[in-house]
Amino acid sequence: MEPFDLIEFQQLARQICCPKKLFELWEDVCRRYERHEIGLYEYEEMKEVIWPTLTALSTLRKIVDSTEPVESGHKDNRRRKLG
């Protein structure tokens, strides 16, 4: 496990766009906090960086998942769907 550097971890959290990887980073921060490897300050600072992004990505994912697929303009695709 790499040593915890708050600035590096915050930069990493800002660069990650994959919800799964961001959540894995959050789990790492939580484990470090539970093991007393980082203090409350570092924990809260990471929470302020990670949670808004996770929330936004989660909302975006829900929107994408609930949106119907866009039909292509190809005539063959229309015939298969209609007939």
Q: Which string of b and e fits 41-59 if b means at least 16 CB within 10 Å?
A: ebeebbeebbeebbeebee
Per-residue pLDDT at 72: 61
- Is 70 within a domain? no
Q: Is position 74 within any domain?
A: no
Surface-to-core class of residue 10, CB atoms within 10 Å of its CB (0-12 exposed, 13-18 middle, 19+ buried): middle
At 31 the pLDDT is: 97
Q: Is residue 24 part of a domain?
A: yes
Is residue 45 assigned to a domain? yes
Q: Is residue 12 in some structural domain?
A: yes
pLDDT tens over the chain, length 83 residues: 678 999 999 999 999 988 889 999 999 999 999 999 999 999 999 999 999 988 888 888 888 888 876 666 555 555 555 54
Q: What is the pLDDT of residue 39?
A: 97
pTM: 0.69
Q: Is residue 50 in some structural domain? A: yes
Q: Which tokens belong to 12?
A: 């990493």
Structure tokens at 6: 């708050």
Token pair of 4 as six digits: 């915890």
Domain that holds residue 43: 6-65
Is the CB of residue 22 less than 8 Å from the CB of residue 53? Answer: yes
Domain count, the chain: 1
